[in-house]
Amino acid sequence: MNTQTLAPTKTALPPGPAGLGFDRLRALSRDYLGPLRQWHAQYGDVVRQRFVHLVDYSFLHPDHIREVLVASHDQLIRWERGTEVFASAHGHSVLVAEGADWQRQRQMLQPAFAPRRVESFVPRMVEAAREGLQRWQGLAEFNFESAMTQVTMEVIMRALFSRGDEQQGRAIAAAVHDLGVEAMQEFYWPVSAPLWMPWKARKRRALQLLKRFIEAEVDHRLARNETGEDPGASTDLLGLMLAAQDAQGQGFDAHALRDECMTTFLAGHETTAAALTWWGWCMASHPEEQRRVADEVQAVLGERTPTAADLPLLPRLARSFKESLRLYPPAAALFSRRTTAPVQVAGYTLPAGSMVRITPALTQRDPRWFLEPEAFRPDRFDPTAGHPEIPRGAWLPFGAGPRVCLGSHFALTEMSVVAALLLQRYELQALPGRRAPQPRLDITLRPDLPLHLGLKRR
Ligand code: HEM
């Protein structure tokens, strides 16, 4: 007998706008976060609405978010249309797979992203960041966003394939950007036009470039593996993926390896670039806080290159990341989900087939959990500073539950290395006469204008 007691289910439907939602879909496609913010302000923590044939629920409250992502994980899949759009680049990787396939892939990949492994990538992260710093030497101002994209791409290339290529990196960065812009548009269409259509030329070219790049790297490594030459095979991410086995002792085949590499490459640099970009802006626009963080870096490292052992000694730096990830979460909206069976959230029963939305960018600026939510105040994450406790589920830049970001430790380690090396040498400055950047969602949350910052030698 099932003795589980369920909270009483509310019989009324949650509030929300009426109608089929064509106009609301148009509004979301123009500015995703604005309309969602407005609906929650009007209707409260749970908003239910119809988008043509789909019934959609949006949740804001941390408890409800955990009910969705943690308690109801087994009754959720990612929204199929979103998955379809991502699959054109990611194939059937861990980002896209569901059910037993996803579980197998996640278990095989997990060890490569464990903290111990990630520590072994610190020297590669240092190398990539140092080269970046050399390129910026002598510049009074620079495009901080593209500099961070370049550095994070160099890091992931070195971590995945044990090599970096500045020239190729630039073309790839442009392709990644084009894919993101295309994907944001495609989500709002029921099907994607075939790639041979003339107006798909930009996506076609971007996909071709990225796939060729990944295929060449994987095939080259597989060929070397067969002939017994296998440099660095067990030390980079591709090497670890090649060695990974499931419970039956099976590894990834060549096709699966290409898909996983594509996901690690794409998920592994764009979000981190966005996170570092916004962190740079927060530092430049809060010189006092920047000075305190730089003092901590100076006290721990002096002129020394950071190692993995130094990173836990930089709590103020870590808090500055937490706060910039709160204000500007790169994954501002999680992948929309669909229920595969009825689930209970916030006391309501969501029927099978419902859409579910969770938007960290909104929850993380809720004044109920974050006093003065628009202000940059890293000390709110200092347990000794007297800020009211932040409930679980209120800060979720990496998601939550079993599908939480696979690379969160990698990302935070990389951010610490890049930031520490930068602050050892330079002060970041906001440029006079430029307005503050506004966040804009293009898969990742980016500044609406290219972010240029000033650099002053310390
Ligand atoms: C600051 C940087 C990053 C942020 C903010 C971020 C954020 C996220 C979020 C929110 C999710 C879950 C999405 C959802 O539940 O809908 C996710 C998933 C994922 N992330 Fe990250 N990520 C970052 C960096 C990375 C890095 C560096 C890697 C790999 C090297 C990575 C690999 C992945 C993968 C593979 C998934 C899918 C996991 C699964 O579905 O099981 N991410 N990320």
Residues present in the chain in total: 458
- Which residue matches tokens 């080269």? 131
Number of neighbouring beta carbons within 10 Å of residue 352: 11
Domain that holds residue 415: 91-329+364-457
Say yes or no: 168 and 295 in one domain.
yes
CB distance 360 to ligand 1 below 6 Å: no
CA pair distance 167, 240, nearest whole angstrom: 26
Q: How far is CA 247 from CA 92, 94, 117, 238, in A?
A: 19, 17, 21, 20
pLDDT for 231 equals 54
CB distance 240 to ligand 1 below 6 Å: no
Say yes or no: 377 and 391 in one domain.
yes
Last residue of a domain, one of 363, 379, 410: 363
Atom of ligand 1 nearest to the CA of 102: 41
Atom of ligand 1 nearest to the CA of 335: 16
Whole-prediction pTM: 0.93
Atom of ligand 1 nearest to the CA of 97: 40
Say yes or no: 325 and 422 in one domain.
yes
Instruction: Indicate the top mutation candidate among 266, 398, 418 to test ligand 1's pocket, ranked by most ligand atoms within 8 A of CB.
Output: 398
CATH of the domain at 394: 1.10.630.10
Q: Ligand 1 center to residue 407 CA distance, Å?
A: 6
Last residue of a domain, one of 312, 346, 363: 363
What number of H helices and E strands is found in the chain?
16, 12
Say yes or no: 6 and 54 in one domain.
yes
Q: Ligand 1 center to residue 25 CA distance, Å?
A: 26
pLDDT for 200 equals 74
Residues 6+ apart with CB under 8 A from 431: 141, 452, 453, 454
Residues 6+ apart with CB under 8 A from 353: 54, 55, 338, 339
Say yes or no: 337 and 378 in one domain.
no
Which residues are 21's β-sheet partners? none
Residues 6+ apart with CB under 8 A from 301: 310, 420, 424
Backbone dihedral region of 347: left (phi > 0), alpha (psi from -120 to 50 degrees) or beta?
Answer: left
Backbone dihedral region of 89: left (phi > 0), alpha (psi from -120 to 50 degrees) or beta?
Answer: alpha
Q: What is the CA radius of gyration of the chain?
A: 22
Instruction: Indicate the top mutation candidate among 320, 405, 412, 445 to test ligand 1's pocket, ranked by most ligand atoms within 8 A of CB.
Output: 405
Say yes or no: 98 and 12 in one domain.
no
Residue 45 DSSP class: S
Longest Cα pair distance anywhere in the chain, in angstroms? 73
pLDDT for 188 equals 66
Say yes or no: 301 and 260 in one domain.
yes
CA pair distance 148, 144, nearest whole angstrom: 6
Residue 77 DSSP class: E
Say yes or no: 201 and 312 in one domain.
yes
Nearest to 446 by CA among 35, 33, 26, 156: 33
- Which residue matches tokens 């409250």? 61
Q: Which helix (H) or strand (E) holds 49?
A: strand 46-51
Specify whether the CB–CB gap between 58 and 46 falls below 8 A.
Answer: yes
Specify whether the CB–CB gap between 47 and 14 falls below 8 A.
Answer: yes
Pinpoint the alpha helices (H) of 137-253: 144-161, 166-186, 201-226, 237-243
CATH of the domain at 75: 3.30.43.20
CB distance 335 to ligand 1 below 6 Å: yes
Nearest to 78 by CA among 284, 358, 313: 358
pLDDT for 9 equals 66
Number of neighbouring beta carbons within 10 Å of residue 404: 12
pLDDT for 326 equals 98
Phi first, then psi: what are they for 58, rounded to 5°? -115, 130
CB distance 263 to ligand 1 below 6 Å: yes
CB distance 301 to ligand 1 below 6 Å: no
pLDDT for 373 equals 97
CA-nearest residue for atom 23, ligand 1, is: 271
The one-digit pLDDT tens for each residue of the chain (458 residues) are: 333 344 556 778 999 999 888 899 889 888 899 999 999 999 999 999 998 889 999 999 999 999 999 999 999 999 888 888 888 888 899 999 999 999 999 999 999 999 999 999 999 999 999 998 888 888 888 899 999 999 999 999 999 998 877 677 778 888 888 887 777 777 666 667 667 666 677 888 888 889 999 999 999 898 887 766 665 556 899 999 999 999 999 999 999 999 999 999 998 889 999 999 999 999 999 999 999 999 999 999 999 999 999 999 999 999 999 999 999 999 999 999 999 999 999 999 999 999 999 999 999 999 999 999 999 999 999 989 888 899 999 999 999 999 999 999 999 999 999 999 999 999 999 999 889 999 988 788 999 999 999 999 98
Atom of ligand 1 nearest to the CA of 396: 10
Q: Ligand 1 center to residue 10 CA distance, Å?
A: 34
pLDDT for 2 equals 37
Number of neighbouring beta carbons within 10 Å of residue 256: 20
Pinpoint the alpha helices (H) of 69-137: 80-90, 99-109, 115-120, 122-136
pLDDT for 173 equals 83
Number of neighbouring beta carbons within 10 Å of residue 228: 6
Say yes or no: 133 and 54 in one domain.
no
Atom of ligand 1 nearest to the CA of 156: 30
Quickly list DSSP for 257-317: HHHHHHHHHHHHHHHHHHHHHHHHHHHHH-HHHHHHHHHHHHHHHTTSPP-GGGGGG-HHH
CB distance 334 to ligand 1 below 6 Å: yes
CA-nearest residue for atom 34, ligand 1, is: 406
Q: Ligand 1 center to residue 3 CA distance, Å?
A: 37
Please tell me the total count of domains within the chain.
2
Specify whether the CB–CB gap between 223 and 242 falls below 8 A.
Answer: no
Say yes or no: 163 and 282 in one domain.
yes
Helices 166-186 & 254-285, crossing angle to 10 degrees? 90
pLDDT for 355 equals 95
Say yes or no: 243 and 390 in one domain.
yes
Say yes or no: 145 and 200 in one domain.
yes
